[in-house]
Structure 1
Amino acid sequence: MKYAILGAGAMGSIIGAVLKKGGQDVILVDPYQEHMEKIKHEGLHLQMIDQNETVQLATCANPAEAGPADVVIILVKGFHTVAAVNGAKGLFREDTIVCSLQNGLGNEDILKEMFPHKPIMQGVMWMTGTLTAPGSVKANVGAGTAIVLGSVDKTRGSEEAAKNMVAHFHAGGIAAEFTENVQKHIWAKAVINACVNGPCAILRINVKSLFNHPLGMKLVEEITQEVVTVAAQKGIQLDYAALMADMVASVARAGEHLPSMAQDIRYKRKTEIDFLNGAIAAYGAQLGVPTPANEYVARFVKIIEESYEFQY
């Protein structure tokens, strides 16, 4: 099976490497030309689970050079999806299956609008990655399930493709599983991202510092409760106590982590706030559910990212 990874930064490169190790045909597609050229000529240097190896992968910075794929995995940031897909139409045949492994809420809605007649998969990655240098990545993979996949449209084609991809990830050395209820997993991860990304970006602190401050923990609790309430109105049942316990345990293991949105703010980049706290606030407004904590986090991040040139 040929996989095209549209958006091959740290996570896209790692996903591509694992699928290639699992015996699949993979091409990485990303405009970061230095990264693509380094991999093309020297292979991808992958550090994962205390092992260092080089994985040979096809790459291209120009999507027109990639040719069509059986499955296109979307790993660009949510606000780049439309432009990235429109610029890579050559990847998609009539029978190509689309898969989003993007962070946040609402990505599947964009893809359903763009591909109303294509099978669509969606998944969650419970792992992190770092692009340490052009052509080199480090994957942080825990002991549990690293990737959860499911079908958005519940068609036979997308469900079979998701199950096949799970098998390919296992063959490549990463634990993955298929779920009938992928939205529950999408929203569960969105809780974590909503709690740590926006607040840490605004406050300019790491996750441990946020959770150790009583007002920081109160904000986390409020954000979580709002997400649980909004999700319930959408028919997605989340366990507030379990989510809080998981986050506290995660912070104990890796609390020094500076979330990606905090890094975006540090380097004055556009953030994915509209796909996290902003999306939760928007869903809340549609459903008549008050979401003041998420709304204000979203507002503050938007003000910051739209005022970089005025900051001191």
Structure 2
Amino acid sequence: MIYIVGTGAIGKALAVFLKLSGQQVTLVRGSVDDLPETRETVRVRISADQEMTADLPVQTLNSVTSLEGPVLVAAKSYGNENIAEKLAKMSKDVPVCLLQNGLNIELPFTGKGFRELYRCVLMVTSQFAGDGTIAFKPVAACPVGVISGQESVLSALLDQLQNRWFTFRMENPIQPLIWKKVIANCVFNSICPLLETDNGIFHRNPGAMRIAESIIMECIGIAGRFGIVLDDREVRDMVLAISHASDGQYISTLQDIRSKRPTEISTLNHAIVGLARSLGAESLVPQTRILGDLTEIKSRL
């Protein structure tokens, strides 16, 4: 059994792909505790003429009493304290893989003593369409690395997760890629919501890309202070690759704002600014801070 905590567009899409690949999968609501177990038919569109469907069991964290296999956490990262606490009561030995963006989102799990903990850098986009179908687009294979545990256990987990549509690869050390993706997400999750536009804006609009490049340079400077040496051209290329591959799709923060849900900006722009502040270097990230603050204000309006 594979448990996927989080019933958003990422978790549901992966659940469909794993089910169609022959795995037993249970979706687990990450933020609702007291609903009865149900079944849900989930449809995922991977191209204009290709749609995939699977019938999936859906539980809550309270209704799961034991873990019989690995746990994939695809819920919003601001819920990690609650998720880690409830999973720890069942088992700290099953593999747990975080399919989330953001800096230091693994800390609630390391603090609870999970022994096999891994992080995945998401290189896919997924969003709900108006008819409830999930529109899924892969950018590249998603790298997964060890936070605590053994590479052999991670290798076995990745063998279990492999499918044709949502693909994974091992990457150690994973921290440089985590930082690269966080910086890319600082770009997408602040600029796109403020402009009310889709992810394709950066390859279409030179002005938007210039702002993106400023954020990239600010964040790379802070990463370097923590021993993470990154090439600005590689991060720029990542932003453009994501922009091309997900042209027409909307970043999760914009989807959250439109749906009046909390956003993850605290683990992106605000996290970078917080690290800069801890070094007495907040003045080095002015645009990252302002765009993060504006995004948070917009989410509360």
**Could you say what secondary structure the match of 2:100 adopts?**
coil
Q: Is the 8 A contact 1:26 1:58 kept in 2?
A: yes
Q: Is the 8 A contact 1:23 1:171 kept in 2?
A: no
Q: Relative to structure 1, is the Cα distance of residues 215 and 33 closer, same or farther in structure 2, using a 3 angstrom cutoff? A: farther
Percent of residue pairs bearing the same amino acid type: 23
**Could you say what secondary structure the match of 1:57 adopts?**
strand
| Aligned with residue 191 of structure 1, among 183, 186, 196 | 183
The alpha carbon displacement at 1:18 in A equals 2.8
**Unpaired stretches in structure 2, ≥5 consecutive residues:** none
Q: Is the 8 A contact 1:38 1:135 kept in 2?
A: no
How many residue pairs get aligned? The number is 296
Q: Which one is further off, 185-194 or 15-24? A: 15-24
**Could you say what secondary structure the match of 2:183 adopts?**
helix
Q: Is the 8 A contact 1:20 1:172 kept in 2?
A: no
Q: Relative to structure 1, is the Cα distance of residues 162 and 244 closer, same or farther in structure 2, using a 3 angstrom cutoff? A: same
The alpha carbon displacement at 1:206 in A equals 3.3
Aligned-partner Cα distance in 2 for 1:224–1:300: 18
Question: Are residues 1:20 and 2:15 paired?
Answer: no
**Could you say what secondary structure the match of 1:269 adopts?**
coil
The alpha carbon displacement at 1:161 in A equals 2.8
The alpha carbon displacement at 1:38 in A equals 4.5
Letter in 2 for 1:305: S
Letter in 2 for 1:251: S
Q: Is the 8 A contact 1:63 1:88 kept in 2?
A: no
- Residue 76 of structure 1 corresponds to which residue in structure 2? 75
Q: Relative to structure 1, is the Cα distance of residues 218 and 46 closer, same or farther in structure 2, using a 3 angstrom cutoff? A: closer
The alpha carbon displacement at 1:191 in A equals 1.7
**Unpaired stretches in structure 1, ≥5 consecutive residues:** none
Aligned-partner Cα distance in 2 for 1:100–1:251: 23
- Residue 121 of structure 1 corresponds to which residue in structure 2? 118
Aligned-partner Cα distance in 1 for 2:165–2:260: 36
- Residue 46 of structure 1 corresponds to which residue in structure 2? 44
Per-residue CA deviation, residues 270-297 of structure 1 (Å, 9 max, x unaligned), is: 2111011111111122234421111111
Q: Is the 8 A contact 2:138 2:165 kept in 1?
A: no
Letter in 2 for 1:45: R
Letter in 1 for 2:98: S
TM-score (norm 1): 0.82
Aligned-partner Cα distance in 2 for 1:304–1:131: 21
Q: Relative to structure 1, is the Cα distance of residues 258 and 135 closer, same or farther in structure 2, using a 3 angstrom cutoff? A: closer
Question: Are residues 1:98 and 2:107 paired?
Answer: no
Q: Relative to structure 1, is the Cα distance of residues 226 and 286 closer, same or farther in structure 2, using a 3 angstrom cutoff? A: same
The alpha carbon displacement at 1:212 in A equals 4.9
Q: Relative to structure 1, is the Cα distance of residues 117 and 177 closer, same or farther in structure 2, using a 3 angstrom cutoff? A: closer
Question: Are residues 1:227 and 2:224 paired?
Answer: no
Aligned-partner Cα distance in 1 for 2:33–2:50: 25
> Following superposition of structure 1 onto structure 2, how do residues 76-225 of structure 1 map, counting pairs within 5 Å?
76-87=75-86, 92-113=90-111, 115-132=112-129, 136-142=133-139, 144-145=140-141, 147-153=142-148, 155-156=149-150, 159-171=151-163, 173-209=165-201, 212-213=204-205, 215-225=207-217
Aligned-partner Cα distance in 2 for 1:268–1:174: 28
Letter in 2 for 1:152: I
Aligned-partner Cα distance in 2 for 1:226–1:70: 41
Q: Which one is further off, 51-60 or 297-306? A: 51-60
> Following superposition of structure 1 onto structure 2, how do residues 57-76 of structure 1 map, counting pairs within 5 Å?
57-61=56-60, 63-65=62-64, 67-76=66-75
Q: Relative to structure 1, is the Cα distance of residues 202 and 184 closer, same or farther in structure 2, using a 3 angstrom cutoff? A: same
> Following superposition of structure 1 onto structure 2, how do residues 3-14 of structure 1 map, counting pairs within 5 Å?
3-14=2-13
The alpha carbon displacement at 1:32 in A equals 10
The alpha carbon displacement at 1:301 in A equals 1.9
Which of the two has greater helix per residue? 1
Aligned-partner Cα distance in 2 for 1:66–1:210: 45
The alpha carbon displacement at 1:19 in A equals 3.0
- Residue 304 of structure 1 corresponds to which residue in structure 2? 298
